[in-house]
Amino acid sequence: MTEPGLRERKKQRTRRALVDAAMRLFDEQGYDETSVAAIAAAAEVSTRTFFTHFPTKDDVFFASNDEGIDAALGVLATRAAGERPLDVLVRAVERMSVAHSAALAHAAEFGPLRLRLLNSVPALRARAVHRFADAQQRLADALHDAYPEVDRVTASATVGALVGAVVSTTLSGLAAHEPDLPDALRRAIDVAVQGVAVTLDPLCGRDATDTVPTVRANGEHRDTALPPRDTTTMP
């Protein structure tokens, strides 16, 4: 992976400084009581610089989510020719979880605060639902555009299963102070993959009882045999 240049690193540092300043002010003053001008001043930048990086105050709060979805879309956009959809999608969701976890790890002390604000600020809770749905739709559209044989309903359901596993595990992990959130996310992705492979692979001419990708601790993938389907209760 290419290292970011000086300009990109400076941009990342400024974004981190704004996020850190915002979260501290949200904790000290309350979310609704904190202004964009106060966040910019605390990060020692201008209000104009704030809006260069974030369109609204909400976007600062959800910055880690944006980094995750951008990483996932990047994987779909740069897929190799001939890659099966499930492999690409698993890698995309895993990259999303890594980016999200890295952003959370940078400001790990704000994990409980994020949960508290989501539970106590109606505007943030509503925004979270909207952004979650939008992220899933963007990924589903990208999957369908990359693989037209995967219809939009299947793409939406498949992305929903994988992204839902990541989001639910992240929230429960933060609430329970999970000591190894990245490992928990890898396991959640592996569990979800077992289910979606049965539907997704046959659409692309692959046996659903073949193998599915699993995520290793180092971020690499290996194929694991699917257990045979239990057909004794099927009509």
Residue pLDDT, tens place only, 27-42: 999 999 999 999 999 9
Q: Which of 211, 72, 76 is nearest to 135 (CA)?
A: 72
91 and 194 assigned to the same domain: yes
Residue 71: the pLDDT is: 86
**Distance of CA 117 to CAs 29, 31, 40, 69, 88, Å?**
12, 8, 20, 22, 34
Q: Which two tokens stand for residue 12?
A: 């990342």
Which of 105-109, 138-142, 149-153 has the least mean pLDDT? 105-109
46 and 73 assigned to the same domain: no
207 and 149 assigned to the same domain: yes
> Would residue 87 count as lying in a domain?
yes
Contacts of 73-76 spanning 24+ positions with Cβ under 8 A: 73/138, 73/139, 73/142, 76/139, 76/142, 76/143, 76/146
pLDDT of 52 > 90? The answer is yes
38 and 67 assigned to the same domain: no
75 and 178 assigned to the same domain: yes
45 and 89 assigned to the same domain: no
- The residue from 36, 56, 76 where one domain ends is 56
> Would residue 42 count as lying in a domain?
yes
81 and 185 assigned to the same domain: yes
Which of 49-53, 98-102, 187-191 has the least mean pLDDT? 98-102
> Would residue 71 count as lying in a domain?
yes
> How many CB atoms sit inside 10 A of residue 112's CB?
13
Query: Residue 10 maps to which CATH number?
Result: 1.10.10.60
Q: Which residue has the higher pLDDT, 175 or 133?
A: 133
28 and 127 assigned to the same domain: no
> To the nearest whole number, what is the mean pLDDT of the chain?
80
Structural domains in the chain (count): 2
Alpha carbon dihedral 85, 90, 91, 92, in 10-degree steps, equals: 80
16 and 127 assigned to the same domain: no
> Would residue 234 count as lying in a domain?
no
Q: What is the DSSP string of 130-179?
A: HHHHHHHHHHHHHHHHH-TTS-HHHHHHHHHHHHHHHHHHHHHHHHTT-T
> Would residue 231 count as lying in a domain?
no
Distance CA 212, CA 181 (A): 22
pLDDT of 63 > 70? The answer is yes
Q: Which two tokens stand for residue 190?
A: 């592996």
> Would residue 68 count as lying in a domain?
yes
pLDDT tens-digit series, residues 141-195: 999 999 999 999 999 998 988 888 878 887 787 777 777 777 887 888 888 887 7
> Would residue 135 count as lying in a domain?
yes
pLDDT tens-digit series, residues 209-234: 455 555 544 445 544 444 444 434 33
Residue 77: the pLDDT is: 92
Instruction: Tell me the residue range of the domain where 216 lies.
Output: 62-225
90 and 34 assigned to the same domain: no
Query: Residue 158 maps to which CATH number?
Result: 1.10.357.10
94 and 37 assigned to the same domain: no
Chain-centroid distance of CA 142 in Å reads: 15
Distance CA 31, CA 166 (A): 26
Residues 6+ apart with CB under 8 A from 130: none
105 and 7 assigned to the same domain: no
> Would residue 212 count as lying in a domain?
yes
pTM check: above 0.75: no
Residue 205: the pLDDT is: 57
